[in-house]
A and B are shown apart, each in its own frame.
Chain A
Amino acid sequence: MKAKKLLSLVLSTILLGSVLTGCGGASSESSSASSQANGTASADTAQKGVITVAASPTPHAQILEQAKPILAEQGWDLQITEFEDYVQPNLVVESGEFDANYVEHVPYLDSFNEEQGTHLVNVGGIHYEPFGIYPGTESDLAAISDGANIAVPNDTTNEARALLLLQDNGLITLKDGAGLTATVNDIAENPHNLNIQELEAAQVSRVKDEVAFVVLNGNYALEAGLSVAKDAVAYEKSDSEAAKTYVNVIVAKEGNEENEGIKALVDVLKSDDIVNYINDTFDGAVIPFTE
Chain B
Amino acid sequence: MEPIIKTEALTKVYNPKTNPVKALDSIDLEIQKGDIYGIIGLSGAGKSTLVRCFNLLEKPTSGTVTVRGQELQSLTPRELRRARTQISMIFQHFNLLMQKNVEQNICFPLYINKVKKAEAHARCMELLEIVGLSDKAKAYPSQLSGGQRQRVAIARALATNPEILLCDEATSALDPQTTSQILSLLKEINERYGITIVIITHEMAVVREICSHVAIVDKGRIVERGTVDEIFDSPKTDEAKRFVLYREKNMNFEGGQGI
Q: Do chains A and B touch in the complex (CB under 8 A)?
A: no
Chain B contact residues, CB within 8 Å of chain A: none
